[in-house]
Structure 1
Amino acid sequence: MPPPPPQLPEHQTLVYFTVDGHDVKMDYYLPPNASGNLPAIIYYHGGGMTAGSRRGMGFPRWLYNHCQQKNYIFIAADYRLCHPTTALDQIEDAKALFRYLSNDFQTILPETTTLDTTRIAVTGFSAGGYSARAACVYASPKPAAMLTGFGSAGDWLLDHWTRGRPPTSIAGRVNLDDIPRLLADKTVVSDDMPAPGGMMSNRFALTVRWELDGTFLDGCLGRPGLGAELDKVEYAQRADKLPEDLKPGFLQLFVDEKYPPSVFVHGTADEVVPDQESKNHHEQLKALGVKTELLLVPGGNHGLVDFSAGFPPKPFPGSVEAYARGLEFIEEAFAAV
């Protein structure tokens, strides 16, 4: 039986961006006796770019606990989900969040507390890796560090995204017959909580359909036929084949020496987001002289959880240690500011 949704600690919910009448929200969690100019860690949830919520099943209690212990502000942010909006809108949301944190958010904090905008780290898990990476490329102020867990968008030009593939273990949890209704619905969604007791909403069926058909990039960027066009050429030629208006959505094309120090945690048996995404991004940063670490978990699956003992699942062997090192990496980046 699926577990109940997480009981979240005490927090405050804010609207950080309103666009076309739609409110995009974040939650913030202050550490005990918050006072002074505090660092922050932002959490971006997964969900295949189409589903999920800042309050959903993937809520990283371990990351929240770390912030409580280190006297950091913890921020869980939603973002507009693909269809009818696109990954380009998620870039705008990432930029908007950092604008908000630098300005209006400071006036909302307790009188003795401020956010140190030179020490904000971003974390992204699965599809949340897109928003984390988007912040590192486009946001101002720039994040001080990034940690991704099995994060997407390290390399969206891989064959994995340009061609159809067999269903993953997650695919069986959705109803593909619902696709026509989902596509016909043009309601903007940025907070997609599943029904009580559910792992995810059926919006995730969009992602599954796109993966099966090789149209993931089409769906995420709102451009039918994009994946098929890219798949006609070799990997090395794909960047040149991109339409100019969509290039900003391929974040790897805009990584430079000013990119924040970054640490990547990824399982080597991930069938949903290949570990090649983290490997390629890591190598790209190394070549630019940016501090980076790649923490591969041998045999680790997508999500780095072990379901063999039922619910609640245990962390996949090696993942706890990898995340612990990832948190140390963030601390080192904060100390270097």
Structure 2
Amino acid sequence: MSAQPATFTYDPAHSVQFDVYVPSDLTSSEGEIKSLPLIINWHGGGMVAGGKKDLFFPQYLVDKFNAKGVIYISANHRLLYPSSTADIIEDVHTLFQYISSGSSEFASYLHGIGIRVDTTKIGVSGISGGVYSARAASTLATVLPRPKVSLSLYGMAGNFLLDFWVKPNDPNDYYKALALDHDKLEKLVIENGGAVVSDAPLKIDMQKRQATDEFNRVGFFVDWQHKGILLDYILNEHGLSSKINQFPLIERINHIPENKKHLLLPLDKDTVPTFFIHGTKDLVVPIEESHAAYEELRQLGVQVGKAWVEGADHGLLDPSKPPNRIQGWEEAVDSGINFVIEQFDI
């Protein structure tokens, strides 16, 4: 078990923070400063909710990376609506600038325990909605220092043009585990999303046995899926989903405004090597998301890896025994971690 994390504010203007977990078995000579690789993980929550330490915190990732001598950061970002995906991308840039600065409070903290970040060995990871931030770091040449590798766990951002996102659905078929409080949601809608938020930890509503947060921001995700309008908020272009869903999937990109396409974070040959983990029965984020990104990167000649976990629902859970994870989940995660370590060459 890792020690308690230290918390840092990397964007004081919007009070956006991250937690850092360092390996517990550090050994160094007196006065020696060790350079260690770093993995940055962004939490799930559909981009609209969640936080760096909440109900779905992946302690297993912290422990496994720390055991391999890797510093682990759990990062927040401004949450979608009223903030935008452009704001989330800005947060990714700000975070990378902060962690690579030698004069930050974070750098001073690490120096005090005899370590520094090896900026040539930074990896990124995302869980569910957090994959959008990881993909921004993986694809944008303006994110410096450039990460070496990316790990995607049952993530969004592979293809936001799928029917799953742009056509109406019955949320009862997909999101029985996520709360939709209509009164709280209506209040947020009236307030145009309410205040700018970067931390909305998910917790269990014990009466309903559903995941929620203080303001039921996760209800946005359920509501948008029900209406088929998630893309409208990803691109800040209301009415776009109903406009493009009339076309075949292969043609939809041609109907996205040119000044909005960059927010879909297009892949190219310079995208960093990426490993995908996804359950074949995921009802919250379809495996087609990861399929699309994996195949596109493979065709671009980018090094990729995958672990499709047979029968697993979102979070690699066993649909017949929630909240237990399905058999084979840990082997899939270990494969992804080993892929990251190989890219670090340690």
Q: Taking structure 2 as the reference length, what is the TM-score of the superposition? A: 0.88
The residue aligned with 1:29 is 21
Q: Map 1:59-78; keep pairs closer than 5 Å.
A: 59-78=57-76
Indicate if the aligned counterparts of 1:147 and 1:264 stay in contact, CA closer than 8 A. yes
Deviation at 1:64, TM superposition (A): 0.7
The residue aligned with 2:54 is 56
Unaligned runs of 5+ in 2: 27-32
Deviation at 1:33, TM superposition (A): 4.8
The residue aligned with 1:184 is 190
Q: Percent identity?
A: 36
The residue aligned with 1:302 is 314
SS in 1 for 2:259: coil
After superposition, the CA RMSD in angstroms is: 2.0
Indicate if the aligned counterparts of 1:8 and 1:55 stay in contact, CA closer than 8 A. no
Unaligned runs of 5+ in 1: 1-6
Indicate if the aligned counterparts of 2:2 and 2:24 stay in contact, CA closer than 8 A. no
The residue aligned with 1:141 is 145
Indicate if the aligned counterparts of 2:180 and 2:223 stay in contact, CA closer than 8 A. no
Deviation at 1:194, TM superposition (A): 4.1
CA distance, structure 1, for counterparts of residue 183 and residue 10 of structure 2 = 35
The residue aligned with 1:281 is 293
The answer as to 2:156 corresponding to 1:152 is yes
Alpha carbons of 1:132 and 1:324: their partners in 2 closer, same or farther (altered >3 Å)? same
Indicate if the aligned counterparts of 1:40 and 1:73 stay in contact, CA closer than 8 A. yes
SS in 1 for 2:111: coil
Deviation at 1:100, TM superposition (A): 0.9
The residue aligned with 2:270 is 258
SS in 2 for 1:42: strand
Deviation at 1:172, TM superposition (A): 5.3
Alpha carbons of 1:239 and 1:267: their partners in 2 closer, same or farther (altered >3 Å)? same
- How many residues were matched structurally? 324
The answer as to 2:322 corresponding to 1:320 is no
> AA paired with 1:17?
D
CA distance, structure 1, for counterparts of residue 167 and residue 74 of structure 2 = 32
Q: Taking structure 1 as the reference length, what is the TM-score of the superposition? A: 0.90
SS in 2 for 1:124: strand
The answer as to 2:47 corresponding to 1:41 is no
Alpha carbons of 1:8 and 1:73: their partners in 2 closer, same or farther (altered >3 Å)? closer
State which of 132, 135, 139 in structure 1 corresponds to 2:134: 132
The residue aligned with 1:97 is 95
Indicate if the aligned counterparts of 1:83 and 1:183 stay in contact, CA closer than 8 A. no
CA distance, structure 1, for counterparts of residue 256 and residue 205 of structure 2 = 41
Alpha carbons of 1:172 and 1:136: their partners in 2 closer, same or farther (altered >3 Å)? closer
